[in-house]
Amino acid sequence: MGDADDGFSVAEASYVSVQIGQPGALMAWNNSAMYAGILLGSALGGPLLHTRGPTTLSVVAAAVAVLAALTATRTIQRQPQPTSRP
């Protein structure tokens, strides 16, 4: 995992390394969320671009990106570091 040609992003690879129980289920939920975001972005962005223009679309997209980044940084929990054995 981690090669440029394996089809995983850095975020997806880190999800699998952190997930203890069922990494397959985590990847499925992640992919579902990505496709839902693509769907919503297209469904809302197309009409916004058509009615308000590219400048408004860019501002709204930037605001959504900032909101997503803030949400992601608040929900990430720090994993405890493994203790070294003597």
CB 49 within 8 A of CB 64: no
- Between 48 and 30, where is the model more confident? 48
User: In the predicted model, is pLDDT for residue 13 greater than 90?
Assistant: no
pLDDT reported for residue 6: 59
CB contact at 8 A, 40 and 33: no
For residue 72, the model assigns a pLDDT of: 76
If phi > 0 it is left, if psi is from -120 to 50 it is alpha, else beta; for residue 9 that is beta
Residue 2 has pLDDT above 50, yes or no: no
Q: CA 86 → CA 33, 78, 81, 83, distances in Å?
A: 43, 24, 15, 9
**pLDDT tens per residue across span 41-83:** 999 999 999 999 999 999 999 999 999 888 878 766 554 555 6
